[in-house]
Amino acid sequence: MVKVRFAPSPTGFLHIGGARTALFNWMYARAQNGKFVLRIEDTDQQRSKKEYEEEILRSMKWLGLDWDELHYQSHRFDLYRDMAQKLVDEGKAYKDGEAILLKTLKDDIKIYDLIRGEINFDTSNFVVRGEDGGVELDEHNQPKLKDEVLIKGDGSPDYNFCCVIDDALMEISCVVRGEDHISNTPKQILIYKALGFKIPKFAHLPLIMAEDGTRMSKRMGAVAVSDYKEQGFLPDALVNYLMLLGWSPGNNQEIVTLQQAIKNFSIKKVNKAAAAFSMEKLRWINGQYIKQTDTEKLTELLIPFLEKANYINQDFDRQGLKSIVELFKVRLSTLTEFLEWTDFIFHDKLQFDPEAKEKHLSQDRSKEFNLLINNFKQVENYDAISCEEAFKKTVGELGIKPGELVHPLRVALTGKAMGPSLFDIVAILGKERTIERLNSALKTDS
């Protein structure tokens, strides 16, 4: 049975790279009807924090990556020390003060990586170097091999030692992790052999790079999963994008759900070339998911953002909000963009786009706006259709083209040059606020 694990360290939040590793492990397990283990590697007692652990678990749940088993390395310290002492008793390791080190033997190590193919390691390259950088020699005048730390001087277990013991005893069949761990593989295999454990398969995922080929930075998307949630990305969209970073469902398909993906996911089909992170592509995918989301559900997702921004209070008009969401959903790339698009609806004071104001409200509009106000006042059933008819009547009476008044009206009502159907906006604002804003535009000098 396929059994894989994701083993984050609670010394920081769950970032995009870790989330992609967790996702590919999860997909591999589910595609093979196997098990997915979540192991919290909290052996670093000084740097590990409860808040990071809780954030990792929340982010995993938010992404929809459920687990079959949950383990904590900090609960297993006695096991690691017992295993290390066993190696000492067998003459395979030795004590150096409080530390315990594994004797490194010359060995040619060969593994078949499920993504990268055959990888060879020669332990004779694991040499001890002096302060001058030169290779130290043993009593036989041969390069002295660097012994592997199992238990540190402070009594805590070393990362590689813990990994081997846990992966073996938890019966992990394949270790799927980032390619930055390739250098750990030969060290771990030496420990597997010393302990007499079965060596699992390995699959090292490509790194995620910025679009320009450099290492990821916060500016280029290397932020915590929780940050993407706060920025208004949907979990399904983020998962969809992460699975495309190194794997493809085929047929140039870009929008694919987790359930669809696991039907044909194969770890062997993961690309070994580095994947480039594109915020623009992520935003596009997120926009597609927002468009597909039921308006009722989308409204519920938006309410926390609106409450946090003080756009709504506890007794807001839910049906009215749904109408606004339906109007704007096709324009959104993130949930937070809804706040930017609709500020003119929830706030009385308009934030004008300076360029739009200069272009459309810099000349005297008193004649047009006064006539428009008069015609809007006469509308009884104040809906989009009736408002559009009142507008058409106005431009007819003025003898101008609709385009000459559409843009000034939009800027006067919203402060923006672009947006959804103008008459849907007029209807949402209502007669009183529409007239107030037109009167306000008449009072400005610009």
**Which are the catalytic amino acids?**
218
Strands of the 201-205 sheet, one edge to the other: 117-122, 108-113, 201-205, 174-178
Query: How open is the CA angle 152-154-157, to the nearest 5 degrees?
Result: 40
How far is residue 382's CA from residue 48's CA, in Å, rounded to a whole number?
Answer: 60
* Backbone torsions φ then ψ of 38, nearest 5 degrees: -105, 120
- Tokens 């959104």 correspond to 332
**Distances in Å between the alpha carbon of 429 and those of 109, 365, 405, 410, 411?**
72, 20, 18, 12, 14
Torsion of CA 275, 280, 285, 288, to 10 degrees: -170
User: Where are the strands (E) in 271-392, listed by range?
Assistant: 275-277
Kindly report the backbone phi and psi dihedral angles of residue 4, in degrees, each rounded to the nearest multiple of 5, phi listed first: -125, 170
Torsion of CA 145, 151, 155, 160, to 10 degrees: 120
Which DSSP category does 221 fall into? T
174 close to 28: Cβ distance less than 8 angstroms: yes
